[in-house]
Amino acid sequence: MKVHGYGALEAGAKMVPVQFEREALRAGEVAIKISHCGVCHSDLHQVNDDWDNSLYPCVPGHEIVGKVTAVGEGVEKYSEGDVVGVGCMVNSCQQCANCKAGEEQYCTGPKGCTLTYNGPAVPDGTNSYGGYSDGIIVREEFVVRVPDALKPEEAAPILCAGITTYQPMKHWNVKMGDRVGIAGIGGLGHLAIETAKALGAHVVALTTSPEKKEMILEDLGADEVIVMSDEKALEEAAMSLDFLLSTIPYKHDINSYIPLMKKNTTICIVGNLIGFDNVDTSGMVFNRIQLAGSLIGGVEDTQEILDFYAEHGIKPDITLIAPDQINEAFERMKNENVRFRHVIDMSLLKADDGDEKIEQPVRGEVVGRDA
Residues that bind Zn ion (CB under 5 A): 40, 42, 92-93, 96, 99, 107, 109, 160
Nearest distance in Å: CB 93, Zn ion:
3
For Zn ion, the closer CB: 180 or 191? 191
For Zn ion, the closer CB: 96 or 295? 96
Nearest distance in Å: CB 109, Zn ion:
4
Q: Say if residues 256 and 280 touch (Cβ distance below 8 Å).
A: no
For Zn ion, the closer CB: 104 or 178? 104
Pairing of strands 135-139, 29-38: antiparallel
- The helix or strand, by DSSP H or E, that contains position 71, with its residue range, turns out to be strand 64-71
Nearest distance in Å: CB 100, Zn ion:
8
Nearest distance in Å: CB 78, Zn ion:
22
65 DSSP assignment: E
Nearest distance in Å: CB 108, Zn ion:
6
Strand partners, 38: 343
Contacts of 242 (CB under 8 A, 6+ apart): 174, 178, 179, 180, 262, 265
State the angle between helix axes of 187-198 and 299-312 in degrees (0 to 180), rounded to the nearest 10.
70
For Zn ion, the closer CB: 1 or 113? 113
Q: What long-range pairs does 317-321 form, CB within 8 A, spacing at least 24?
A: 317/190, 317/219, 317/341, 318/38, 318/153, 318/154, 318/156, 318/157, 318/342, 318/343, 319/343, 320/153, 320/344, 320/345, 321/39, 321/345
- Tell which residue, 157, 166, 154, has the closest CA to residue 194: 166
Say how many C-beta atoms besides its own lie within 10 A of residue 251's C-beta.
12
For Zn ion, the closer CB: 45 or 262? 45
Nearest distance in Å: CB 205, Zn ion:
21
Strand partners, 68: 32
Distance (Å, rounded) from C-alpha 220 to C-alpha 234?
Answer: 21
For Zn ion, the closer CB: 160 or 205? 160
For Zn ion, the closer CB: 46 or 127? 46
For Zn ion, the closer CB: 68 or 156? 156
For Zn ion, the closer CB: 48 or 360? 48
Nearest distance in Å: CB 333, Zn ion:
12
Distance (Å, rounded) from C-alpha 352 to C-alpha 354?
Answer: 5
Nearest distance in Å: CB 104, Zn ion:
6
Nearest distance in Å: CB 101, Zn ion:
10
SS3 345: strand
